[in-house]
Homo-oligomer: A and B are copies of this chain.
Amino acid sequence: MKIHNYSAGPCILPKSVMEKAAESVVNYQNTGLSIVEMSHRSKEFVAVMEKAVALVRELLHVPLDYEVLFLQGGASMQFYMSALNLLPLNGSAAYINTGTWSSKAIKEAKLLGRIDEVASSKDKNFSYIPKDYAVSQEVSYLHYTTNNTIFGTQFKELPKTNARLVCDMSSDIMSKAIDVTKYDLIYAGAQKNIGPAGATLVIVKKDVLGHTGRVIPSMLDYQIHIEKESMFNTPPCFSIYTAMLTMEWLKELGGVTEIEQRNKAKAELLYQEIDTNPLFRGTAAIDDRSVMNPTFVLEDASLNDSFLHASIDAGISGIKGHRSVGGFRASMYNALELESVQVLVDVMKEFERTRG
């Protein structure tokens, strides 16, 4: 039976990418060596790293005054590292709190300076994106999380502010077109639309670095990683290689504008069912609904287990909601096909027919 993988991350990746990656784990391009057995300084792996960086630049139209890095530690390390590199000693920054990940980012940044939580949707269990707030002219930057995997909300436009923007895009980068020039720093754990867990993408405007007055440990210093082209130490080779393959797949398919249309079509299909099927209710404010991670509940929570089993019987994997929201979460990353969404919608329709 075909498995429809709705996992929130690590998550579905293209089947063709998995097949190529598997082949390279045994014998990379007929070298007789595995991609994971090669020196990261070999001409083969250096070419992989260069191509991965070039694909990020091409797919997201990254301007030349920005650097593209592949690091380790995930967004969780970036919560601290971004502030360490951008927040001056005695400086301040503004943060929008839209859920678990923003809260963690705020916690780590507070170790380094004055953090002003300018807006929060905590009052309604993070079910919406705050829109009215003022950002002081004094702050070094405004930080926000573009898409909130747990609560199923997503920024649909840029925050209205003159402040420089720092952004955690872990769960929606590469899912749609973005304007990189609007940001000083973008970071993202790879394990949604970029590739396997273990790599972290950073896109940083070069001229914002080096102004904090802090002494920064080498591994936490963007400038050192820039100078060493993401090879200050051994990089997570397999994750970067497979990210490169995934970006090649995305490019062949038509890039971020094409995938944006496909992702919208998937989200429309599912949200329409959530809105019209009387058994279900979406949990996020309609204007702020995530294209990546629709969250929904059964009006009658006592039916949760039977709906979950009905979906499992149809080959659907990973739709149990996060404990903070309950119900269900259907993460629909780039590699999930419209056909898989149709399977879920059909299960919902059938559930209404038999249980409604």
Binding site for B on A (CB under 8 A): 1-3, 5, 7-13, 18-19, 21-23, 25-26, 31-34, 36-40, 42, 72-77, 79-80, 104, 107-108, 111, 189, 191, 196-199, 215, 217-220, 232-239, 242, 317-318
**How many angstroms between the C-alpha atoms of A198 and B40 in the bound complex?**
12
**How many angstroms between the C-alpha atoms of A30 and B310 in the bound complex?**
21
Residues of B within 8 A of A21 (CB): 25, 36
Instruction: Find A73's partner among B9, B31, B73 (CB 8 Å cutoff).
Output: B73
**How many angstroms between the C-alpha atoms of A281 and B79 in the bound complex?**
50
Shortest distance from the beta carbon of A341 to any chain B beta carbon, whole Å: 17
The secondary structure that dominates the A interface is: loop
Residues of B within 8 A of A1 (CB): 32
Shortest distance from the beta carbon of A133 to any chain B beta carbon, whole Å: 26
Instruction: Find A234's partner among B9, B40, B80, B237 (CB 8 Å cutoff).
Output: B9
Using known A-B contacts A13-B34, A77-B219, determine if residue A18 contacts B26 with beta carbons closer than 8 Å.
yes
Residues of B within 8 A of A318 (CB): 39
Closest residue of chain B to A108 (Cβ to Cβ) is B217
Q: Is the CB of A234 within 8 A of B189?
A: yes
Q: Is the CB of A40 within 8 A of B108?
A: no
Q: Is the CB of A26 within 8 A of B19?
A: yes
Residues of B within 8 A of A10 (CB): 36-40, 234, 237
- Most chain B CB atoms below 10 A, which of A2, A33, A34: A34
**How many angstroms between the C-alpha atoms of A30 and B75 in the bound complex?**
31
Given contact pairs A3-B32, A107-B218, A197-B237, a sample of 8 additional A-B residue pairs in the complex whose CB atoms are under 8 Å apart: A7-B37, A9-B234, A10-B38, A11-B39, A13-B37, A77-B233, A108-B217, A189-B234
> Can you name 15 A-B pairs with beta carbons within 8 Å?
A7-B38, A9-B234, A10-B37, A10-B38, A10-B40, A11-B37, A18-B36, A22-B26, A72-B72, A72-B73, A73-B233, A74-B234, A111-B215, A189-B233, A196-B238
Shortest distance from the beta carbon of A17 to any chain B beta carbon, whole Å: 9
Shortest distance from the beta carbon of A141 to any chain B beta carbon, whole Å: 18
**How many angstroms between the C-alpha atoms of A309 and B73 in the bound complex?**
40
Closest residue of chain B to A3 (Cβ to Cβ) is B32
Shortest distance from the beta carbon of A140 to any chain B beta carbon, whole Å: 18
Residues of B within 8 A of A26 (CB): 18-19, 22
Residues of B within 8 A of A215 (CB): 111
Using known A-B contacts A74-B233, A197-B235, A218-B80, determine if residue A37 contacts B25 with beta carbons closer than 8 Å.
no
Q: Is the CB of B25 within 8 A of A197?
A: no
Q: Is the CB of B37 within 8 A of A234?
A: no
Using known A-B contacts A19-B26, A215-B111, determine if residue A198 contacts B80 with beta carbons closer than 8 Å.
no
- Most chain B CB atoms below 10 A, which of A23, A25, A76, A189: A25
